[in-house]
Every structure is written in C-alpha cells, then in structure tokens.
Amino acid sequence: MLSALRRWREQRIIRRFPYSESDWERQFASMPLLRGLTPDECETLRELSVLFLHRKSLEGAQGLAIDLDMAVPLALQACLPILKLGLDWYNGWVSIVLYPEAFIPAHEEIDEFGVSHLNNEAIYSGESWQHGAVVLAWSEAKQAALIDGHNLLIHEFAHKLDMLNGSANGFPPLHDDMDRAQWTDAFQYAYEDFQLHPRAGIDPYAGTAPAEFFAVISEVFFERPDIVDKHYPRVYVQLKRFYRQDPLTRLGKSSGVRP
C-alpha cells in the first residue's frame, strides 16, 4: 500500500513538472553523454531527474540565479549513475550549491598543537561533504556533458555514493551479489599501477587518493568506457556490476573481460 501511494505521489510530481516535451528533447539532444540510452532508459532518467529536483535544494551562491535550463541538465547527469540503482541512493543529504565560477572554500584544519586554522587557499570546481552539500562551479558543471572523459557532476556524485558507508575511501556499499575481495583486488591493483604509470585519458588527480580514483574512474566509465576497459578491464567489470550499467554496449562494443 505504501509503495503504491509513493508511486502515485511521484507520478503526480512528474506530471506537474513545468517542462515541455520539446524542452526535454532539446536537453537530451544537447548532451552527447546521454546518446545511446534506450527510450526506456531516457524516460527513467527523466523521471529520476524530476524527482531529484523535487527532493534536493539547489542554491545559487554569489548571486547566481538558477533556472530550469540549468537545473535540468545538472539533474540528468547527477541521476545517470543511479539510473539502475534508484534515487534512494542519494538519501541523507539535500543541498546542492552552485557558484558562478571556481571557488575558494574555507576549510578548518587543526594543527599539531591543537590550534584551528582556516585553509582558504585552494581553488575548487567541486566538492562533496559527508551528510552535507554538493558544491559545484557552474562554469565547469555546464560543460560536463561533453564526451571528453571529464565530468564534474559524475565525479562529485560518485563521492556521494562512496560516502554511503562512511567517509569516502573508494569503497562504496556493494550489492549483495558482488564480491568485496574482487572489488578490492581490482581497484587496489589499478590505483597502485596508475600512480606509477598514469594512463592517457584518465585525469592524473585519480592518483592522489583511493576516493579520487573511484570518482575519476567513474567519470571515465560513463564518458569514455573504452579507456577504462582498455587499461583496467577488471575495474570496468566491477563498475559495471556496481552501477548496473554497461556503457560499452552504448558504443556497440564489448568488454574484453567476461563478467
């Protein structure tokens, strides 16, 4: 009964969303990242995006005004990783903050003497806070759907998935049919190999921490899956199992490693 009532409420939210069919078609046509999705997947992604925008709070910083033509492509890309997982994977937080440009967050750090300092020197294009906001630079986010192997939105929302079982460490909560040892073995080998031998098409930032490796490799998985499959085929298989998606099939290709 509760499930039926929830679905009825969600369908009402979706029907009332103030976006025309031509608006949706325009957004999908403008985003190469979404090409290759089946009609059913496109419809699911649309619905997830509407519900995502209903549940989350988008806030503009430094006077940035957010309209639907900004919010919708953001939601479409944010929901792509959870296309087969469901919106509940983004539970536990609400806010998305958009800055016009790259920003300088004020981070508190405690030194060896117990003294608190504000570190406000680094410039960021995005960050995710555990149980808190996702913060993005709109100047970077609006370019994210291009197929170049870099996607700020997927990167930051991959961190959110990673944080579901604690702090980000490159080990999100796995499905019951996944093997923790296989995940660890595949990712540990790839991470250590990448630190020694950075691979073309994968941002060197992936080598700075296991959490960043997971987030960066998730970007590449969705945008250039052939690169992940070429260099780290076992990681590709693990990501395919985790995200329940196989982006290579959208390119008409298949992985060299059997699932």
CATH number, position 50: 1.10.472.150
Q: Mean pLDDT, the chain, as a whole number?
A: 88
Per-residue pLDDT, 113: 39
Examine the domain organization and report whether 40 and 143 are in the same domain: yes
Per the structure, the complete domain to which residue 219 belongs is given by: 169-259
Per-residue pLDDT, 163: 95
Assess if residue 36 is contained within a domain: yes
Q: pLDDT tens, 26-51?
A: 999 999 999 899 999 999 999 999 99
Assess if residue 162 is contained within a domain: no
Backbone angles phi, psi at 56, to 5 degrees: -100, 160
Q: Are 145 and 73 in contact (CB under 8 A)?
A: yes
Q: List Cα–Cα distances, 117 to 122, 133, 155, 159, 167, in angstroms.
A: 14, 22, 28, 25, 22
Assess if residue 247 is contained within a domain: yes
Examine the domain organization and report whether 121 and 5 are in the same domain: yes
Distance CA 107, CA 104 (A): 9
Examine the domain organization and report whether 103 and 216 are in the same domain: no
Examine the domain organization and report whether 108 and 185 are in the same domain: no
CATH number, position 252: 3.40.390.10
For residue 212, which of 226, 198, 224 has the smallest C-alpha distance? 198
Write down which residue in 96, 119, 148 finishes a domain. Answer: 148
Q: What angle do CA 214, 74, 47 make, to 5 degrees?
A: 100
Examine the domain organization and report whether 69 and 129 are in the same domain: yes
Examine the domain organization and report whether 114 and 12 are in the same domain: yes
For residue 142, which of 38, 238, 63, 66 has the smallest C-alpha distance? 66
The stretches in the chain having pLDDT less than 50 are 107-120, 123, 257-259
Assess if residue 158 is contained within a domain: no
Overall domain count for the chain: 2
Q: pLDDT tens, 61-95?
A: 999 999 999 999 999 999 999 999 999 999 999 99
Per-residue pLDDT, 104: 58
Q: pLDDT tens, 137-146?
A: 898 888 876 7
DSSP element (H, E) containing 95: strand 95-99
Backbone angles phi, psi at 252, to 5 degrees: 75, 25
Per-residue pLDDT, 16: 96
Examine the domain organization and report whether 6 and 126 are in the same domain: yes
Structure tokens at 205: 């930032």
